[in-house]
Copies of this chain bind each other. A is one copy, B any other.
Amino acid sequence: MKKLINSPDTVLDDTLAGLAAAHPELAVDRAARVVRRAGGPRPGKVALISGGGSGHEPLHTGFVGTGMLDAACPGEVFTSPVPDQVLAALAATDGGAGAVLVVKNYTGDVLNFALAAELAAEQGVEVHTVLVDDDVAVEDSTYTAGRRGTGATLVVEKTAGALAERGATAAEVAAVGARANAASRSFAIALTAATVPAAGRPGFDLPEDQIEVGVGIHGEPGRRREPLRPARELAAEVVGTILADHTLIPGDQVIALLGGLGATPLHELYLVYGEVAALLAERGLTVARRLVGNYVTSLDMAGFSLTLTKADPELLELWDAPVATPALHWS
């Protein structure tokens, strides 16, 4: 394992120290493991809070700031945060208007956020939860754990964050988040495995000419293994898989997020995005907004994921609203 760390046991704490130094505009509570906007709770504003295992940076800590999250709860690497963190985040951001939790659909995240939400509700805080489950690589049924939450998390946090910034109620913010999630589908391909620092070796062995298709963001193997192919074919595979599951018709507008998984250089992401854009145009879809870069990552995994969100005027307007966070910034 080759990583810029001090020790596997201190990765989270050391990363938070660096985050605090890099972003004085954030309040980083290393003991409570809560990252929030500097300045206290804002009376009357719904607190938008998310979190999850670390190793997906800039998700979620990089999305804390005006127009997006009020606080993020980073867990250990690939491990959901504990309820205490969520409760601390709720306490630190409670402006009296309730809170919305953005939770990626993993058993651990769901359970830990649910425990916290239960306790907070007992204390009289109005808590809503938006579950993100956009990954079409995973079969969705009541008998399974359901789909994973991946790239759509960014879209949910951006749109819900914009609405929260305008003073909407917790129910309204949660409703928009749920709508953004329902409008989103993602699919990812990995060229290499991720190495969890505590594990010390890659999650799976992938020969030099093989890729994993349908991976998540936790280093787990995908649905199947295939030979590496040209970017154009991989893009077609990903676009085809998403569209087969999506209710998009020619003429529809989409928000496209072409994301690196952590170790893929930007030039490759641009290259893949060029293929994706061409394929979407062929299908008669209009890319109304797009992001290309590393946003929802998986440690040092190489590869990419595509998220397509069916856009409507409200979602686009919320997407365009000003945002000022470490990882997303526009005005």
The chain A residues found within 8 Å of chain B, CB to CB, are: 2-7, 11, 14-15, 17-22, 54-55, 57-58, 62, 191-192, 208-209, 211, 228, 230-232, 234, 258, 262-275, 277-278, 287, 290, 292, 294, 297, 299-300, 302-304, 329-331
Q: Max chain B CB contacts within 10 Å: which of A62, A231, A287?
A: A231
Given contacts A21-B287, A22-B273, A262-B265, 17 further A-B contacts (CB under 8 A): A2-B209, A4-B234, A4-B268, A4-B303, A6-B232, A15-B270, A15-B274, A17-B271, A21-B273, A21-B274, A21-B278, A22-B274, A22-B290, A57-B266, A262-B266, A266-B297, A331-B331
Q: What are the 8 tightest A-B residue pairs by CB atom distance, in nearest-first order?
A: A18-B274, A18-B270, A21-B277, A17-B274, A4-B268, A263-B263, A57-B266, A262-B265
Nearest CB in chain B to that of A194: its residue: B265
Are A270 and B232 in contact, with the CB atoms below 8 A?
A: no
Number of copies: 2
CA distance A277 to B264 in the complex (A): 27
Q: Point out the residues of chain B lying under 8 angstroms from A275, CB to CB.
A: 6, 14, 18
Q: Point out the residues of chain B lying under 8 angstroms from A21, CB to CB.
A: 273-274, 277-278, 287, 290
The distance from the CB of A299 to the nearest CB of chain B, in whole angstroms, is 6
Q: Could you list 11 examples of A-B contacts with CB < 8 Å?
A: A2-B192, A2-B211, A4-B191, A4-B303, A5-B230, A5-B271, A14-B231, A18-B269, A18-B277, A21-B277, A331-B331
CA distance A20 to B278 in the complex (A): 11
Q: Point out the residues of chain B lying under 8 angstroms from A271, CB to CB.
A: 4-6, 11, 14-15, 17-18
Are B292 and A18 in contact, with the CB atoms below 8 A?
A: yes
Q: Max chain B CB contacts within 10 Å: which of A21, A272, A297?
A: A21
Are A267 and B234 in contact, with the CB atoms below 8 A?
A: no
Q: Point out the residues of chain B lying under 8 angstroms from A304, CB to CB.
A: 4
The distance from the CB of A149 to the nearest CB of chain B, in whole angstroms, is 19
The distance from the CB of A204 to the nearest CB of chain B, in whole angstroms, is 14
Nearest CB in chain B to that of A231: its residue: B4
Q: Point out the residues of chain B lying under 8 angstroms from A303, CB to CB.
A: 4
Are A2 and B262 in contact, with the CB atoms below 8 A?
A: no
CA distance A151 to B67 in the complex (A): 31
Q: Point out the residues of chain B lying under 8 angstroms from A258, CB to CB.
A: 22
Are B263 and A264 in contact, with the CB atoms below 8 A?
A: yes
Q: Point out the residues of chain B lying under 8 angstroms from A292, CB to CB.
A: 18, 22
Are B62 and A274 in contact, with the CB atoms below 8 A?
A: no
With A274-B15, A277-B18, A302-B263 as known contacts, state yes or no: A268 contacts B5, CB within 8 Å: yes
CA distance A175 to B11 in the complex (A): 43
With A271-B18, A300-B302 as known contacts, state yes or no: A264 contacts B4, CB within 8 Å: yes
